[in-house]
Amino acid sequence: MLTATSITKNDRTEFMTHALKAALLIGALALSACTNADRFDNPDAVNLNDQAGIGQTGLGAAGNPDSPEYFNQTIGDRVLFAVDQSTLSPQAQSVLAGQAQWLMTNSDYLAVIEGHADEQGTREYNLALGARRANAVRDYLVSQGVAANRIRTVSYGKERPLAVCSDESCYSQNRRAVTVISIGVTS
Amino acid sequence: MMIRFLTFLLAVLFATVAHAQDPLRLELTDGVIEPLPFALPGFHAETAGSEQVAGDITQVVAQDLMGTGLFRQIPRSAFISTPASFSDPVAFADWRAINAQALIRGAVAVTGGQVSVKFRVYDVFSGSEMGEGLQFTGTTDGWRRMAHKVADEVYSRITGEAGYFDSRVVFVAETGPKDNRAKRLAVMDYDGANVQYLTDSSTIVLAPRFSPNGDRVLYTSYESGFPRINVLDVSTVGRQQLTTQQGEMAFSPRFSRDGQQVIYSLANGGNTDIWRTDLRSGQHTRLTSAPSIETAPSFSPDGSQIVFESDRSGTQQLYIMSANGGEARRISFGEGRYGTPVWSPRGDLIAFTKQNAGRFHIGVMRTDGSQERLLTASFLDEGPTWAPNGRVIMFSRETQGAGGTSSLFSVDITGRNLQRVSTPAGASDPSWGPLQR
- Name the least confident of A20-34, A126-140, B275-289: A20-34
List domains and CATH numbers for chain B.
2-28+36-159 (3.40.50.10070), 167-435 (2.120.10.30)
The pLDDT-based confidence of A61 (bands split at 50, 70, 90) is low
* pTM for this entry: 0.86
Q: Is the domain of A37 the same as that of A101?
A: no
Q: Is the domain of A71 the same as that of A130?
A: yes
How big is the A-B interface in CB pairs under 8 Å?
A: 128
- Please state the rounded mean pLDDT for residues B332-336: 96
> What mean pLDDT, rounded, does chain B reach?
94
Which of A10, A32, A59 terminates a domain? The answer is: A59
Contact A126, A158 (CB under 8 A): yes
- For A126, the domain range is 64-187
Model confidence at B380: pLDDT above 80: yes
Please judge whether A123 and B379 are an interchain contact, meaning their C-beta atoms are less than 8 angstroms apart: no
Model confidence at A106: pLDDT above 80: yes
Using CB atoms, pick whichever of A51, A123, A134 lies closest to residue B206: A123
- Nearest CA-CA distance, residue A118 and chain B, Å: 12
The pLDDT-based confidence of B29 (bands split at 50, 70, 90) is confident
Please judge whether B402 and A132 are an interchain contact, meaning their C-beta atoms are less than 8 angstroms apart: no
Q: Is the domain of A183 the same as that of A92?
A: yes
Q: Give the pLDDT score at B41.
A: 98
Best of B204, B220, B268, B272 to substitute, by most chain A Cβ atoms within 10 angstroms, is: B272
Please judge whether A128 and B265 are an interchain contact, meaning their C-beta atoms are less than 8 angstroms apart: yes
The pLDDT-based confidence of A18 (bands split at 50, 70, 90) is very low
Q: Is the domain of A85 the same as that of A29?
A: no
- Nearest CA-CA distance, residue B401 and chain A, Å: 5
CB proximity A67 to B under 8 Å: no
Number of structural domains in chain A: 2
- Please state the rounded mean pLDDT for residues B238-253: 95
Q: What is the pLDDT of residues B99-153, one digit of tens each?
A: 999 999 999 999 999 999 999 999 999 999 999 999 999 999 999 999 999 999 9
Q: What is the pLDDT of residues A167-177, one digit of tens each?
A: 999 999 999 99
From A41, which residue of chain B is nearest by alpha-carbon distance? B403
Counts for chain A of helices (H) and strands (E), in that order: 7, 4
Q: Give the pLDDT score at A78.
A: 98
Strand partners, B266: B250, B273
The pLDDT-based confidence of A77 (bands split at 50, 70, 90) is very high
Stronger pLDDT, B336 or B10, i.e. the higher one: B336
Q: Is the domain of A97 the same as that of A160?
A: yes
Q: Is the domain of A54 the same as that of A69?
A: no
Best of A119, A125, A133 to substitute, by most chain B Cβ atoms within 10 angstroms, is: A125
How far apart, in whole angstroms, are the C-alpha atoms of residue B81 and residue B95? Answer: 8
- Please state the rounded mean pLDDT for residues B422-432: 97
Which of A59, A77, A98 terminates a domain? The answer is: A59
Q: Give the pLDDT score at B22.
A: 72
Closest to B334 (Cα-Cα) out of B357, B306, B304? B357
CB proximity A168 to B under 8 Å: no
Rg (CA), chain A: 17
Q: Give the pLDDT score at B307.
A: 98
Q: Is the domain of A70 the same as that of A32?
A: no
The pLDDT-based confidence of A62 (bands split at 50, 70, 90) is low
- Please state the rounded mean pLDDT for residues B374-388: 98
Report the percent of chain A where pLDDT is more than 90: 64
Best of A42, A83, A124, A127 to substitute, by most chain B Cβ atoms within 10 angstroms, is: A124
Q: What is the pLDDT of residues B147-204, one digit of tens each?
A: 999 999 999 999 999 999 999 999 999 999 999 999 999 999 999 999 999 999 999 9
Q: Give the pLDDT score at B21.
A: 56
Model confidence at B423: pLDDT above 90: yes
Q: What is the pLDDT of residues B44-64, one digit of tens each?
A: 999 999 999 999 999 999 999
Q: Give the pLDDT score at A40.
A: 33
Q: Give the pLDDT score at A185.
A: 65
Q: Is the domain of A29 the same as that of A95?
A: no
Q: Give the pLDDT score at B302.
A: 96
Angle at CA of residue A121, ends B228 and B322, nearest 5°: 65
CB neighbour list of residue B145: distance below 8 Å, 6 or more residues apart? B138, B166, B189, B436
CB proximity B288 to A under 8 Å: no
Model confidence at A20: pLDDT above 60: no
Q: Is the domain of A40 the same as that of A107?
A: no
3-class secondary-structure state, position A83: coil
CB proximity B246 to A under 8 Å: no
Which of A13, A44, A59 terminates a domain? The answer is: A59
- Name the least confident of A54-58, A167-171, A175-179, B228-232: A54-58
Q: Is the domain of A122 the same as that of A50?
A: no
- Please state the rounded mean pLDDT for residues B252-259: 96
Q: Is the domain of A131 the same as that of A156?
A: yes
Q: What is the pLDDT of residues B89-101, one digit of tens each?
A: 999 999 999 999 9
Q: What is the pLDDT of residues B214-228, one digit of tens each?
A: 999 999 999 999 999
Using CB atoms, pick whichever of B204, B272, B383 lies closest to residue A131: B272
Whichever domain contains A118, its CATH number is 3.30.1330.60
Q: Is the domain of A54 the same as that of A68?
A: no
H helix or E strand, kind and range, residue A114: strand A109-116
The pLDDT-based confidence of B23 (bands split at 50, 70, 90) is confident
Q: Give the pLDDT score at A63.
A: 81
Q: Give the pLDDT score at B25.
A: 84
